[in-house]
Structure 1
């Protein structure tokens, strides 16, 4: 009866997989989703978690996730981690293929918002939490990161307004910092090897939010783990 239930998107690799691994160890009941069924099924089997493969930008897939969560009994934590990098190699704004931006916003902004809308009733009922994964590209002027950064800035503001409108749930938007993931490697190549794995910083920072339950807001993972960790 006291088991916490979490839905993690983009859970087959990177931060999503690392966080799922930690929450499974901590006794959470998990529903995992990502686009690729083969990789996702292996992760879910290893963790004893439920899974449903698909694209969170697809309304039918989101309906399937909602139905499965209803079967499980509700939801205590939604982690909107699934993201797309957009055009690569990372182009300057002067050269950005504008035709790719609608799909990028659909995945990085509209899909998380749609899941939130679908799941707010159960999150309200259970006093749950939303974790939206942001980026330093949302606030910094980094060459080549305009498309991805614009979507994360939009997600930040959506989170900010949601926090104001929904005082009975926690809404945290988290900048995980650079992580050694496939997405970062796609963006910067071998330089990604110097970044810490998501298990080292981002995962314990998010778990700390769940444990301590601070006020809704934007948090930087590395700062959360510092002695005077706090909001960005």
Structure 2
């Protein structure tokens, strides 16, 4: 990667996306951060020099074009983090009761949008010999009641990540499982429950930084393994 490293983080107005944008900026990255909530997104940028907000919805092709234009203006992209996700209805319904429009929204946000954005930005990431990080979940590989929509969408993203890694051997393509975190999305998955025992998303940032620093083989990685100092070996979905 070049001297000035540029990253694009989606879903960056809250939770893990916000933590990653700030963490990368703290480590010298220039970060383009995108999300749907303008006030919160601009607050992320205001607190972190080096962070540029581009407000919009990644499921909107016009917004993806605006992101490509921003990357083109900057002349390169070293890192793409596809973090924006939709959980689906809360409380989370059984598959037999899952509303079709809600399921379509989950797949649009969690699968189609990151694939479309990756394809649009691939020439820039390829030119940099860069990194693609797709945020996944243990629900992609474990069967939990009520998690059929979100889990199946993340499983599809896992598989797409593995295929992209085979098709683009000069890139590092990581499906990254951050584990449970104290975020609004996690709270929506467990309405009415106390999730204060879950770690803050900032605790996950060092695991992503380790991937970027060590650049292990493409594959699926868990934050718990990386932060515990275990060898950076891929788990779960393999190429």
Per the normalisation by structure 2, the TM-score is 0.94
Q: Deviations over 1:15-55 (max 9, x none)?
A: 01111111111010010000011110111121121111000
User: 1:29-44, aligned counterparts within 5 Å?
Assistant: 29-44=30-45
User: 1:24-173, aligned counterparts within 5 Å?
Assistant: 24-48=25-49, 49-173=51-175
Q: Given the superposition, is the C-alpha separation of residues 50 and 227 from structure 1 closer, same or farther in structure 2, using an over 3 Å criterion?
A: closer
Given candidates 193, 211, 234, the residue that maps to 1:209 is: 211
Q: Is the counterpart of residue 14 in structure 1 residue 6 in structure 2?
A: no
Q: Counterparts of 1:32 and 1:126 in 2: how far apart (Å)?
A: 19
Q: Counterparts of 1:192 and 1:52 in 2: how far apart (Å)?
A: 31
RMSD: 1.0
Q: Deviations over 1:125-174 (max 9, x none)?
A: 11010000000000011111110001000000000100000001100001
Q: Counterparts of 1:8 and 1:44 in 2: how far apart (Å)?
A: 12
Q: Which moved more, 1:99-108 or 1:206-215?
A: 99-108
Q: Counterparts of 2:168 and 2:145 in 1: how far apart (Å)?
A: 35
Aligned to 1:2: 3
Structure 2 SS opposite 1:171: strand
Q: Is the counterpart of residue 191 in structure 1 residue 190 in structure 2?
A: no
Aligned to 1:228: 230
In structure 1, the gaps of 5 or more residues are: none
Asked if 1 retains the 8 angstrom alpha-carbon contact of 2:218 and 2:234, the reply is: no
Q: Counterparts of 1:115 and 1:196 in 2: how far apart (Å)?
A: 29
Q: Counterparts of 1:177 and 1:7 in 2: how far apart (Å)?
A: 22
Structure 2 SS opposite 1:191: coil
Per the normalisation by structure 1, the TM-score is 0.97
Q: Deviations over 1:56-107 (max 9, x none)?
A: 0100000001101111121000000000111211111121112311111111
Q: Counterparts of 1:73 and 1:181 in 2: how far apart (Å)?
A: 33
Paired positions, count = 231
In structure 2, the gaps of 5 or more residues are: none
Asked if 1 retains the 8 angstrom alpha-carbon contact of 2:78 and 2:130, the reply is: yes
Q: Counterparts of 1:112 and 1:51 in 2: how far apart (Å)?
A: 18
Q: Counterparts of 2:104 and 2:118 in 1: how far apart (Å)?
A: 20
Q: Counterparts of 2:143 and 2:194 in 1: how far apart (Å)?
A: 19
